[in-house]
């Protein structure tokens, strides 16, 4: 799970950097708020996609392990 923590740290760092970059950019407040919302939505969508992929992978491994355990208990 070490790589998961590293990836999360990198994502948070990128998000914080992007947020600070947008906040200090010379633009009107309404444009800046819209850019922040857009970036936040993009990061949320990306993170959701990664969690969905992880969930799918864990589910598949669980199913395979369950089938293997059933075979060991009742090897027909």
Tens of pLDDT along 8-52?
Answer: 888 888 888 887 877 777 777 788 788 888 988 988 898 888 889
The conformation of residue 42, written as its DSSP 8-state character, comes to: H
This prediction has a pTM of: 0.49
The total of structural domains in the chain comes to 1
Domain region containing 27: 2-73
Residues 43 and 11 sit within 8 Å (Cβ to Cβ): yes
Q: How far is CA 47 from CA 23, 44, 50, in A?
A: 22, 5, 5
Residues 34 and 28 sit within 8 Å (Cβ to Cβ): no
Residues 6+ apart with CB under 8 A from 58: none
Please, what is the Cα angle at 48 between 43 and 54, to 5 degrees? 130
């Amino acid at each position: 799970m070490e790589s998961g923590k590293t990836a999360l740290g990198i994502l948070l760092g990128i998000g914080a950097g992007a947020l600070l970059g947008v906040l200090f950019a010379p633009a009107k407040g309404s444009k800046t708020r819209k850019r922040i919302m857009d970036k936040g939505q993009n990061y949320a969508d990306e993170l959701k996609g990664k969690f969905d992929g992880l969930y799918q992978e864990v589910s598949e491994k669980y199913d395979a392990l369950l089938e293997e355990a059933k075979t060991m208990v009742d090897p027909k």
